[in-house]
């Protein structure tokens, strides 16, 4: 996110604090509401759901949540982002499920920063992701798409590949191709989004389906959820 935009947002909250509403998540994360949410969004319910579903040790990287619609959202065609300890989320939400998806997805990206070794160091998750990507590659190839295998074995995000999925294949058609491989089309775009999408599915969707089609991803998230890494660290000292 542009530094000037971040500074503007933070200054505007300080200036208009009296006019803004503030809530607290996990008794420590302030939520500043700059732009009013739709009437069908019950923010208290959403916060209660998060606190009862996602253990507090997985949100320790999150320091603040800002609810506001900013320029970057329109420019990048996104609804939320995580940066430097803060979750920025648009107030333009269809319903509570839509807003929960956005928040949990950004919490997932904060978890990546907090626990990169536990998630990625052994290579298991990347191997699972690339294996699925290759299955999709051969499937798309068989349907006449002219594609390069090298693009599919790169686990990093590629704007060109994302455009290929979004514009040429189209997500509605891609949804049919990924059955049994990925939960959603966006999970195909990179290893990081594969993790974040699985994190969403674990807390908001169908755990059994996630375990069936992405066992390594499921086990990584379960490991993080149970906080076993914390126990292991404590027993070393």
What integer pLDDT is reported at residue 236 of this predicted model? 34
Of 114, 129, 149, which residue constitutes the final position of a domain?
A: 114
Q: Are 132 and 126 in contact (CB under 8 A)?
A: no
Tens digits of per-residue pLDDT, 181-196? 999 999 999 999 999 9
Closest CA to 161 of 181, 190, 136, 183: 190
Give the contacts of 157 (CB within 8 A, at least 6 positions apart): 189, 190, 192, 193
Q: Structurally, how many domains does the chain consist of? A: 2
Kindly state the average pLDDT of the residues 139-161. Answer: 95
Q: Would you place residue 229 in the very low, low, confident or very high pLDDT band (cuts 50, 70, 90)?
A: low
Check residues 101 and 76 and name the one with the higher pLDDT.
101
Q: Is residue 19 part of a domain?
A: yes
Q: Is residue 182 part of a domain?
A: yes
Q: Are 189 and 227 part of one and the same domain? A: yes
Whether residue 231 has pLDDT greater than 50: no
What integer pLDDT is reported at residue 19 of this predicted model? 43
Mean pLDDT of the chain: 89
Kindly state the average pLDDT of the residues 55-63. Answer: 96
User: Residue 182 class from Cβ within 10 Å (0-12 exposed, 13-18 middle, 19+ buried)?
Assistant: buried
Q: Is residue 145 part of a domain?
A: yes
Q: Is residue 236 part of a domain?
A: no
Cα–Cα distances (Å) from 177 to 27, 139, 155, 217, in that order, read 43, 7, 19, 20
Q: Is residue 237 part of a domain?
A: no
Q: Are 107 and 54 in contact (CB under 8 A)?
A: yes
Whether residue 27 has pLDDT greater than 70: yes
Give the side-chain half-sphere CA count within 13 A for 194: 30
What integer pLDDT is reported at residue 16 of this predicted model? 45
């Amino acid at each position: 996110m542009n530094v000037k935009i971040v500074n503007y947002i933070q200054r505007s909250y300080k200036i208009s604090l009296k006019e803004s509403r503030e809530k607290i998540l996990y008794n420590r994360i302030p939520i500043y509401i700059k732009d009013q949410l739709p009437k069908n969004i019950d923010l208290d319910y959403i916060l209660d759901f998060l606190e009862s579903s996602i253990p507090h040790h997985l949100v320790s990287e999150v320091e603040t949540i800002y609810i506001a619609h900013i320029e970057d959202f329109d420019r990048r065609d996104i609804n939320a982002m995580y940066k430097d300890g803060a979750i920025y989320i648009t107030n333009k939400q269809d319903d509570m499920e839509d807003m929960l998806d956005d928040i949990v997805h950004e919490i997932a990206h904060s978890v990546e920063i907090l626990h990169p070794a536990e998630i990625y160091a052994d290579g298991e998750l990347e191997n699972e992701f690339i294996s699925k990507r290759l299955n999709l590659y051969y499937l798309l190839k068989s349907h006449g798409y002219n594609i390069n295998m090298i693009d599919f074995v790169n686990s990093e995000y590629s704007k060109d590949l994302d455009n290929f999925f979004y514009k040429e294949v189209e997500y509605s058609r891609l949804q049919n191709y990924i059955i049994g491989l990925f939960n959603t089309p966006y999970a195909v775009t990179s290893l990081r989004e594969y993790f974040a999408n699985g994190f969403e599915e674990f807390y908001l969707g169908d755990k059994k389906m996630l375990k069936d089609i992405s066992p390594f991803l499921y086990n990584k998230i379960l490991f993080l959820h149970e906080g076993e890494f914390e126990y292991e660290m404590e027993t070393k000292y």
